[in-house]
């Protein structure tokens, strides 16, 4: 913890240095905020009419080193609001901050190093000249002042700083490695998916290989859900606008929904979510308490109009397929259902070798009672729903953190936050407690006492969107999928053309055991074929030459480079089949 603080101080000090250098190089520039962040720091600037480009970063770094020589310490002085106003009259951003500090009745502190005066809350190195040595500016980006789209966009410079050169190099190296396992890069290399300008942005096309991975994932999820008492249904991916007006989604989601299509007398819309469709199934007949909980699950295509700048490979797309489900239950059953939903996501994660605490963590996403536009108004119900979710997490002894203002409009949720390889978090799965939809749709069940009662709806996703799941998994496995997910599980490599016929016999046997195999019949050397199978991350290579043909064996090599020697086909077949069954890697 102490170390973290020191590191933050180092990086924040480096942000000061960056600001000083930029202000010296481009007088008239205003610096805004410059905090330490997880892997470095940033500093925001208003450059006015000056345009700076990536190439300027080197120049700035040089200036930083020059100035650093004069920075012996951080002089910190407490000043009055009036003094701060005077000192920063030229800088609207600092002025705004000074006014806020004044309101919060906090001491206003300024820092001075060399010629550079800044307004700052603190957190610096004692001795910047000695401490700041191993830093690098990384990138240039736009960022809204105070994070609001309504404000002016400033120029942000990202950089990083470490106590030692070794750590800095290690970090830069890690960035390179991260780029190598980017799912977009691997997806292209392994031929899993493509994009087409004519089809449109954010609309990936899966190749046969990509579709194989996707199909295996879907089968896995559907099978597991069926085991756990879900009924898998199929509902149309479009519906009348009125359905979403009834659900109340329409006003909240209008901006991210595709515009309605007029067909004869109907106005249809591509669905942005599946819940109301499932409610219609529920309402198709009267329901008894004996039927509850009803768990409707669906591999559900949905459409959201993401803004162009928000699209990223398979991670953010405009049509995605959710492993969706809506559990309709009595209020008494809700807790148990939520627990079971969390248990399912744990099971799914475990199958992929994802570790709680390391790869993912739970977030309790709460609503803000004051934001009536964003959240359905019912303070009592919110309280109850949030407590229910909190209790579930506590009873399960799950470590979790709470996040304000992250709920759905109809209720709070538990989000399973997944860390991708570059350390960035995305919501992978989610479990939501909904007390609004039952009212909106007038969902009822007949209880023991013969009276109509209102059920609760638990929205949940066991594996999130399959597109996003695939992106995660490609990066997680670096493209080397476990055997059960591998698009091609076995590559048969005949050493000479003489061996092709025999190879075909083997292929047929593999196929009849439901193993995905191919033969490399190209006129290439065996070495070259091995290399290609290896770069394609194919788990097993069966090499067949004259010797194997004569002995009726196969020589087995794995993608890790291991030579398993020759064996009978049945032997390796059993091994592979077992691995597929166990979903081991």
Partner RNA sequence: GCCGAAGUGGCUCAGUGGCAGAGCAAGUCCAUGGUAAGGACUAGGUCACGGGUUCGAUUCCCGUCUUCGGCUCCA
* Interaction residues for RNA, span 394-423 (CB under 7 A): 408, 415, 422
- Residue closer to RNA (CB basis): 211 or 311: 311
The backbone torsions φ and ψ at residue 320, rounded to the nearest 5 degrees and listed phi first, read -130, 165
For residue 531, give every residue at least 6 positions away whose Cβ sits within 8 Å of its Cβ, in sequence order, or none.
none
| Contact yes or no for 118/98 (Cβ under 8 A) | no
| Contact yes or no for 418/428 (Cβ under 8 A) | yes
For residue 248, give every residue at least 6 positions away whose Cβ sits within 8 Å of its Cβ, in sequence order, or none.
376, 409, 410, 436, 437, 440
Smallest separation, CB 423 to RNA (Å): 10
- Residue closer to RNA (CB basis): 57 or 328: 57
Smallest separation, CB 498 to RNA (Å): 6
- Residue closer to RNA (CB basis): 85 or 181: 181
- Our CA dihedral for 386, 392, 398, 403, rounded to 10 degrees, sits at -10
Smallest separation, CB 431 to RNA (Å): 11
List the one residue from 93, 195, 382, 445 that touches RNA (CB under 7 A): 195
| Contact yes or no for 364/501 (Cβ under 8 A) | no
DSSP 369-406: TT-TTTS-S-HHHHHHHHHHHHHHHHHTT--EEEETT-
Q: CB atoms < 10 A from the CB of 508, how many? A: 11
Distance CA(302)–CA(538), nearest Å, equals: 32
Smallest separation, CB 568 to RNA (Å): 14
Helix (H, G, I), strand (E, B) or coil at 50: coil
| Contact yes or no for 292/328 (Cβ under 8 A) | yes
Q: Considering only 115-123, 164-172, 276-284, 547-555, which stretch makes contact with RNA by CB under 7 A?
A: 547-555
Applying the rule CB under 7 A, the residues between 127 and 186 that interact with RNA are 139-144, 147-149, 153, 155-156, 182, 184
Size, binding site for RNA by CB under 7 A: 78
Smallest separation, CB 9 to RNA (Å): 22
- Residues 444-482: b if buried by 16+ CB within 10 A, e if exposed: bbeeeeeeeeebbbbbbbbbbbbbbbbbbbbbbbebbbb
Assigned token pair, 71: 């920075």
Distance CA(238)–CA(249), nearest Å, equals: 14
Applying the rule CB under 7 A, the residues between 231 and 290 that interact with RNA are 256
Applying the rule CB under 7 A, the residues between 428 and 447 that interact with RNA are 428-430
Applying the rule CB under 7 A, the residues between 333 and 372 that interact with RNA are none
**Running DSSP on this structure, what letter comes out for residue 495?**
S
* CA-wise closest residue to 183 among 220, 201, 203, 210: 210
Smallest separation, CB 405 to RNA (Å): 9
Q: Does 546 bind RNA (CB under 7 A)?
A: yes
- Residue closer to RNA (CB basis): 27 or 561: 561
Smallest separation, CB 306 to RNA (Å): 5
Q: Considering only 91-99, 435-443, 501-509, 525-533, which stretch makes contact with RNA by CB under 7 A?
A: 525-533
Q: Does 107 bind RNA (CB under 7 A)?
A: no
Applying the rule CB under 7 A, the residues between 6 and 65 that interact with RNA are 51, 53-54
List the one residue from 454, 563, 570, 581 that touches RNA (CB under 7 A): 563
Beta bridge partners of 134: 162
List the one residue from 180, 394, 498, 568 that touches RNA (CB under 7 A): 498
List the one residue from 82, 107, 112, 201 that touches RNA (CB under 7 A): 201
- Residue closer to RNA (CB basis): 20 or 137: 137
Smallest separation, CB 503 to RNA (Å): 12
- Residue closer to RNA (CB basis): 8 or 447: 8
Smallest separation, CB 76 to RNA (Å): 28
């Amino acid at each position: 913890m102490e170390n973290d603080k020191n590191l933050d101080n180092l990086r924040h000090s480096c942000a000061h240095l960056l600001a000083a250098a930029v202000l010296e190089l481009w007088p008239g520039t205003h610096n805004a905020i410059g905090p330490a962040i997880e892997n470095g720091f940033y500093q925001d600037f208003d450059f006015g009419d000056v345009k700076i480009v990536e190439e300027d970063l080197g120049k700035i770094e040089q200036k930083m080193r020059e100035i650093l020589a004069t920075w012996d310490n951080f002089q910190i002085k407490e000043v009055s609001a009036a003094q701060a106003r005077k000192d920063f009259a030229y800088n609207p951003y600092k002025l705004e901050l000074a006014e806020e500090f004044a309101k919060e009745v906090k001491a206003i502190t300024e820092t001075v190093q060399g010629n550079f005066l800044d307004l700052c809350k603190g957190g610096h190195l004692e001795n910047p000249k000695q401490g700041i040595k191993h830093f690098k500016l990384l990138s240039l980006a736009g960022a809204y002042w105070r994070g609001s789209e309504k404000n002016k966009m400033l120029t942000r410079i990202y950089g990083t700083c470490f106590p030692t050169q070794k750590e800095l190099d290690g970090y830069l190296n890690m960035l390179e490695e991260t780029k190598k396992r980017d799912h977009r890069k691997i997806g292209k290399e392994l031929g899993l998916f493509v994009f087409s300008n004519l089809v449109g942005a954010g609309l990936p096309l899966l190749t046969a290989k990509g579709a194989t991975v996707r199909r295996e994932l879907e089968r896995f999820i559907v099978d597991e859900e069926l085991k756990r008492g879900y009924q898998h249904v199929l509902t149309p991916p479009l519906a009348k606008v009125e359905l979403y007006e009834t659900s109340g989604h329409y006003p909240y989601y209008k901006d991210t929904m595709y515009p309605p299509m007029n067909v004869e007398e109907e106005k249809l819309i591509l669905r942005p979510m599946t819940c109301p469709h499932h409610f219609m199934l529920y309402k198709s007949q009267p329901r008894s308490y004996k039927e509850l909980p009803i768990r409707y699950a669906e591999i559900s295509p949905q459409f959201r109009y993401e803004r162009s700048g928000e699209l990223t490979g398979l991670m953010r797309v405009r049509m995605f397929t959710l492993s969706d489900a809506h559990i309709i239950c009595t209020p008494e059953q809700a807790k148990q259902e939520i627990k079971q939903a969390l248990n399912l996501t744990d099971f799914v994660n475990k199958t992929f070798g994802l570790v709680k605490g390391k790869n993912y963590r739970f977030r309790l996403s709460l609503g803000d009672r004051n934001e009536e536009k964003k959240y359905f108004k019912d303070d009592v119900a919110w309280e109850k729903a949030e407590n229910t979710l909190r209790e579930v997490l506590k009873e399960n002894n799950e470590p979790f953190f709470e996040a304000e203002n992250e709920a759905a409009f109809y209720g709070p949720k538990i989000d399973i936050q997944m860390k991708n390889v570059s350390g960035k978090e995305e919501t992978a799965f989610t479990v939501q407690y909904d007390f609004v939809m039952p009212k909106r749709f007038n969902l009822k069940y007949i209880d023991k006492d013969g009276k109509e009662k209102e059920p609760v709806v638990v929205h949940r996703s066991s594996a999130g969107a399959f597109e996003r799941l695939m992106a995660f998994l490609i990066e997680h496995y670096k493209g080397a999928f476990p055997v059960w997910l591998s698009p091609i599980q076995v590559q048969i490599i005949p050493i000479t053309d003489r061996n092709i016929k025999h190879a075909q016999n083997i292929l047929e046997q593999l196929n009849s055991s439901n193993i995905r195999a191919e033969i490399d019949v190209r006129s290439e050397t065996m070495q070259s074929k091995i290399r290609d199978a290896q770069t394609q991350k194919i788990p097993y290579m069966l090499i067949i030459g004259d010797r194997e043909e004569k002995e009726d064996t196969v020589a087995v090599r794995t993608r890790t480079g291991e030579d398993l020697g020759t064996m009978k086909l049945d032997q390796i077949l059993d091994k592979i089949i077992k691995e597929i069954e166990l979903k081991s890697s």
